[in-house]
Structure 1
């Protein structure tokens, strides 16, 4: 299943290997579909990652379940892209990797010597596989750029959402892994909570633009609706919007400017990488390497490109 329309004249401009909790909120599935429909990037691998265990049904939050959900999307879209499972558990400490097929795939792709295409490793949940890959082979730090959806607001840049203070969700999946990555020399583009919460789509536009896109459109729409239905049963009202919080992974890695490729339509600040504290906060580190912290995302480009590519599937 491929949209037979425009493709970059000179071929892909980058490689992407993407890691997400596909067994969790379905924004990860939407991100995967968008990435599969984006010819400017050569998708080299899809990794299913874990969520914190649920004692009532741990299997439904495992990396194995995420892998199966990713394979289901690849099958519907008739795409042959290697898929891997990550670790089913978080790091016990910051010095011991959690070996997995997903972590090994990151190492193998980063260490290739037969291509000059830059590599983006994108993460929409925890950083388990990236931290493990780095602990297994530190040289990957010189051979990829990591893009992560996660981490709380920086106090001088934004305020947290209303409600009781809580550790940002993706950070809480594997706090030790985040500590490894932030302490490493890996180039990092971070999309913290205040930025990814900008990616709001109306359920009406999702019904109008996503649902009609054949089997994959129906699949995504059903998954998105299931979230609202489940939350309603548990006493939460999600209203009529949905946050496409993982889609910035496609925006930042793949939908870059044509001349002088970069994320020119989104805004970021450069700041020394902080330490991640044991309570999920930031500790300033003036001598840390510079990382990008995104403050504003081009949601128009991100969503309209996704909707347009889905529409082309129907042509």
Structure 2
């Protein structure tokens, strides 16, 4: 079995890969319970009303020490999104959808879920002049499933994904990307307009400490207290300790491209042993290659105080 993906003209693809320079409609696909950075990203997106309008949240699967399997990880992420909604009035009317209960079992077999179906419906209702931005900060299963269910959404969306490591890194074996090889390859190979933000080497610059969170986050109402306690509880020892808040990189890119400088590259090939290789005949993606840490955190802290 194979699936034929629509091919955007190079002109249309490059238009979609340019920074929008305007407020965009977006959905956020997140494994919210997996780490502490998703919570920061959810709240950062909701506070960035000058740049984005969040239309829906999708719970993504994950499997590590915090879950008993992908389904359990997705359910815990769904519950965490509801927890955030209970303390954020800005989130009250935004729907939250359960995502995939497992990873893709093959390159052409989507995982049915409310999230994937909603993404198809929402994307297909978008106009060519107003594509839907799909911001993904976990395993890309829900997004890949939607593309496999309805390949025409490639013409209607722009994906902004935190996944893999920098192209010069020794390998691409990063948690988001490595959980679902088939889904990661689908997104990289399909020709969907993609902004790729690597973890090691790029988003890894976005580090903060408990002292900084205490000074600039803790006293900003229930949301600030929630983020502070989340950060406090992420480690038994905070002496000389810092934590990367990876996921805010995606929202920072939409807020200001100067904070997350990027370039056009040919979509890399992802091998079965999670290594990058280059084929200059492949379509372009936008590749973020640095993160200006101070600018991003200044923006986040300022918005939490508003």
Query: TM-score range, shorter-chain basis?
Result: 0.7 to 0.9
Tell me the SS of whatever aligns to 2:247. coil
Task: Specify the alignment match of 2:30 in structure 1.
Answer: 20
Q: Distance in 1 between matches of 2:105 and 2:176?
A: 17
Tell me the SS of whatever aligns to 2:58. strand
Task: Specify the alignment match of 1:83 in structure 2.
Answer: 96
Tell me the SS of whatever aligns to 2:77. helix
How far off its partner does 1:56 sit?
Answer: 7.4
Tell me the SS of whatever aligns to 1:29. helix
2:204 pairs, out of 193, 197, 202, with 197
Q: Is the 8 A contact 2:161 2:197 kept in 1?
A: yes
Map 1:155-170 onto structure 2 (within 5 A): 155=168, 159=169, 167-170=173-176
Q: Distance in 2 between matches of 1:240 and 1:53?
A: 22
Q: Distance in 1 between matches of 2:119 and 2:220?
A: 31
Task: Specify the alignment match of 2:244 in structure 1.
Answer: 243
Q: Distance in 2 between matches of 1:288 and 1:60?
A: 34
Map 1:156-235 onto structure 2 (within 5 A): 159=169, 167-193=173-199, 194-229=201-236
How far off its partner does 1:114 sit?
Answer: 6.5
Task: Specify the alignment match of 2:74 in structure 1.
Answer: 63
Q: Is the 8 A contact 2:259 2:296 kept in 1?
A: no
Structure 1: tracts of 5 or more residues without a match: 1-11, 257-262
Alignment TM-score, normalising by the size of structure 2? 0.85
Q: Is the 8 A contact 1:13 1:117 kept in 2?
A: no
Map 1:113-132 onto structure 2 (within 5 A): 113=126, 116-132=129-145
2:301 pairs, out of 289, 301, 307, with 307
1:134 matched to 2:147: yes
How far off its partner does 1:64 sit?
Answer: 1.3
Tell me the SS of whatever aligns to 2:105. coil
Residues 35, 238 of structure 1: alpha-carbon distance in 2 compared, 3 angstrom cutoff: farther
Task: Specify the alignment match of 2:41 in structure 1.
Answer: 31
Residues 55, 118 of structure 1: alpha-carbon distance in 2 compared, 3 angstrom cutoff: closer
Q: Is the 8 A contact 2:66 2:73 kept in 1?
A: no
Alignment TM-score, normalising by the size of structure 1? 0.83
Q: Is the 8 A contact 1:54 1:61 kept in 2?
A: no
How far off its partner does 1:175 sit?
Answer: 1.3
How far off its partner does 1:113 sit?
Answer: 4.2
Task: Specify the alignment match of 2:53 in structure 1.
Answer: 42
- CA deviations on 1:44-95 (whole Å, 9 max, x unpaired) are 1111111125597448952111011011101210222111111121111111
Q: Distance in 2 between matches of 1:105 and 1:238?
A: 44
Structure 2: tracts of 5 or more residues without a match: 1-21
Note the aligned Cα RMSD (angstroms): 2.2
User: Aligned pair count?
Assistant: 281
